[in-house]
Amino acid sequence: MKLEKAFVISDIHGEISKFNKLLQFWNFEDEALIILGDLIDRGENSLKVVEKVMELKKQYNDQLIIIKGNHEDMLLKFLENPEINNNGLRYFNNGGGTTASEFTQDVNILDRGNAEIAEKMKEKSEVIQFLSNLCLYYEFGDVLFIHAGIDHDISDWRQTEPYQMVWVRNMWEQKNQTGKIIVFGHTPTQYIHEDKGCDIWISPCTSYINIDGGAVYGGQLNAIVINKTGDILKTFHVK
Q: Please state, in angstroms and rounded to a whole number, the distance separating the CA atoms of residues 201 and 206.
A: 9
CA distance 7 to 105: 32
Give the neighbor-by-neighbor strand order of the sheet with 208-210: 137-140, 143-146, 181-184, 208-210, 201-202
Kindly give, in sequence order, each residue whose CB lies less than 8 Å from that of residue 71, ignoring residues fewer than 6 positions away: 13, 37, 38, 39, 40, 41, 42, 94, 95, 96
**Does residue 84 have a pLDDT over 90?**
no
Is there a contact between 35 and 13 (Cβ–Cβ < 8 Å)?
A: no
Q: Report strand pairing: 5-9 vs 31-35.
A: parallel
Query: Once rounded to an integer, what is the mean pLDDT over residues 16-41?
Result: 99
* Structural domains of the chain, with CATH: 5-69+134-238 (3.60.21.10), 73-130 (no CATH)
User: Side-chain half-sphere of 8: how many Cα atoms within 13 Å?
Assistant: 33
Percent of the chain whose predicted confidence (pLDDT) is above 70: 100
- Summarize the confidence of residues 194-222 as an average pLDDT: 98
Average pLDDT of span 160-183 = 97
Task: Please tell me what DSSP assigns to residue 145.
Answer: E
Cβ(36)–Cβ(223) below 8 Å: no
Average pLDDT over residues 172-186: 97
In the predicted model, is pLDDT for residue 85 greater than 90?
A: no
Q: What is the CA radius of gyration of the chain?
A: 17
Q: Is 236 within 8 Å of 213 (Cβ atoms)?
A: no
- The model's pLDDT over 123-158, given as tens digits with 9 standing for 90+, comes to 999 999 999 999 999 999 999 999 999 999 999 999
183: Cβ contacts below 8 Å, ≥ 6 apart: 8, 36, 143, 144, 145, 146, 209, 211, 224, 226
Mean pLDDT rounded to a whole number for the chain = 97
**Residue 92: predicted pLDDT:** 96
pTM of the model: 0.97
